[in-house]
């Protein structure tokens, strides 16, 4: 055989070998794909690296989950408790976890220990009454945390304050809206050095300390639809020191009296309150729904100290009158229910007084008549 023929034979064998390798690779890919599809848990649909288990009435995390899953959606189920067995094996690729509206009440310690690269965690619309501060690892990589309408008890915010300080060093978006929060622990967000967006809408915050929102990384602060009546000077000054901050304050019941004067000046000087044109008075009645920036100095109601004391005492007088009236009614009711006993008691007192007076009268007659007095003396002898 010539050299040319031998060369062609070698080339043909090489092509056949390459074809075999390609065929094997193709079969291997098909096998891996079918294996990956077979790992899709029951009652869920899997597409690429997304596992969707929405509204399947699940009571626990479905197993097994594909190792390459990046997004897991468990919203609309009935998963009341999450513990350290909820994710039994490490899912390094899982970055987005949605458990919204799933009746979650309790999260035990080390729940997310096998989710080292979790970036987004959505627990909105639940009834969380117990959230262990060790549920998240201290080196958590979570950047977006949604806890909107998720706290069963508004006073539980103290536990979340510890959680924020311990386990959320990288969070940049935090949603605490619709939780009926009445107060916030001082410095709750101070240690969140990457926090850029904070949503506190639709709570019942009446006030907050000067350092509550002090965070130089903060860019958006939403305080709409709370119960704020006025912002103190120190709070205004603290917000002014945060660079590039945008604040939303509409929907609060602002009280338009002398106390709001400094806030009006602050609103006119600073434009980072994005909805400042929508801020309106809630009281007094004559200024209701009047925009704050349209107020004149003469419209602000200011009272002297004596008038303030009198206004403060007016409700006290009314309350005192109501209490006294209630006591009177109760007293009359007691008298009515015990009228027979009281009548008998009064008769007894009357008879006792009558007997006593008759004794005095008898002694008086004896002392006034000498003859009776001598008889009395003789009888004594």
Burial class (CB in 10 A: 0-12, 13-18, 19+), 332: exposed
Q: Look up residue 125 and give its DSSP letter.
A: S
CB atoms within 10 A of CB 142: 24
What was the pLDDT predicted at 33? 43
What was the pLDDT predicted at 93? 97
What was the pLDDT predicted at 362? 63
When the pLDDT of each residue in the chain is averaged and rounded to a whole number, the result is 83
Sign of CA dihedral 359, 362, 367, 368: positive
264-273, 327-336, 356-365: which has the minimum mean pLDDT? 356-365
What was the pLDDT predicted at 381? 43
Checking if the pLDDT of 332 tops 50, the result is yes
H-type alpha helices, the chain? 3-38, 157-167, 233-240, 261-269, 305-337, 339-368, 370-380
Checking if the pLDDT of 191 tops 90, the result is no
What was the pLDDT predicted at 288? 92
Convert the pLDDT of each residue in 36-75 to its tens digit: 444 899 999 999 999 999 999 999 999 999 999 999 999 9
Convert the pLDDT of each residue in 223-240 to its tens digit: 999 999 999 888 888 888
Q: Residue 174 and residue 184: Cα distance in Å, rounded?
A: 14
Model pTM score: 0.70
Q: Map out the domains of the chain with their CATH numbers.
A: 41-302 (3.80.10.10)
Percent of the chain's residues with pLDDT above 70: 80
Q: How far apart are the first and last CA of the chain?
A: 178
Convert the pLDDT of each residue in 7-42 to its tens digit: 565 566 666 656 545 544 444 444 444 444 448 999
If pLDDT is split at 50, 70 and 90, which confidence band does 153 have? confident
Best-predicted range by mean pLDDT (159-168, 174-183, 303-312, 319-328): 174-183
What was the pLDDT predicted at 297? 79
Checking if the pLDDT of 199 tops 60, the result is yes
If pLDDT is split at 50, 70 and 90, which confidence band does 308 have? low
Place of tokens 């602060």: 221
Angle 39-45-48 (CA atoms, 0-180°, nearest 5)?
A: 70
Mean pLDDT of 156-175: 88
Checking if the pLDDT of 363 tops 70, the result is no
Q: Which residue has the higher pLDDT, 259 or 19?
A: 259
Q: Residue 126 and residue 152: Cα distance in Å, rounded?
A: 8
Tell whether omega for the bond before 130 is within 30 degrees of 0, i.e. cis. no
């Amino acid at each position: 055989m010539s050299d040319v023929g031998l060369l062609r034979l070698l080339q043909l064998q090489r092509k056949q070998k390459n074809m075999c390798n390609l065929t094997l690779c193709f079969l291997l890919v098909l096998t891996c794909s079918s294996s990956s599809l077979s790992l899709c848990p029951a009652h869920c649909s899997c597409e690429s690296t997304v596992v969707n288990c929405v509204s399947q009435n699940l009571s626990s995390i479905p197993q097994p989950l594909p190792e390459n899953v990046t997004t897991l959606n468990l919203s609309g189920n009935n998963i009341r408790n999450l513990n350290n067995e909820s994710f039994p094996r490490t899912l390094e690729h899982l970055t987005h976890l949605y458990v919204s509206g799933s009746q979650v009440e309790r999260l035990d310690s080390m729940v997310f220990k096998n989710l080292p690269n979790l970036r987004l965690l959505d627990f909105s619309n639940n009834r969380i009454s117990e959230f262990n501060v060790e549920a998240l690892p201290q080196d958590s990589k979570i950047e977006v945390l949604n806890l909107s309408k998720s706290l069963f008890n508004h006073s539980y915010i103290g536990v979340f304050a510890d959680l924020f300080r311990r386990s959320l060093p990288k969070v940049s978006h935090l949603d605490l809206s619709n939780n009926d929060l009445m107060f916030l622990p001082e410095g709750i967000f101070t240690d969140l050095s990457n926090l850029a967006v904070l949503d506190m809408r639709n709570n019942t915050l009446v006030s907050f300390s000067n350092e509550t929102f002090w965070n130089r990384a903060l860019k958006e602060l939403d305080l709409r639809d709370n119960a704020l009546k006025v912002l103190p000077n120190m709070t205004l000054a603290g917000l002014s020191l945060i660079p590039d901050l945008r604040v939303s304050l509409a929907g609060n019941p602002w009280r338009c009296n002398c106390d709001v004067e400094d806030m009006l000046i602050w609103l006119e000087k600073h434009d980072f309150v994005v909805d400042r044109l929508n801020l309106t008075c809630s009281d007094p009645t004559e200024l209701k729904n009047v925009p704050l920036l349209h107020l004149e100095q003469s419209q602000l109601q200011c009272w002297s100290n004596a008038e303030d004391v009198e206004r403060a005492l007016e409700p006290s007088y009314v309350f005192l009158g109501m209490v006294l009236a209630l006591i009177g009614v109760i007293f009359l009711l007691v008298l009515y229910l015990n009228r027979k006993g009281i009548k008998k008691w009064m008769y007894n007192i009357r008879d006792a007084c009558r007997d006593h007076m008759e004794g005095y009268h008898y002694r008086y007659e004896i002392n006034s008549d000498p003859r009776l007095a001598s008889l009395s003396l003789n009888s004594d002898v």
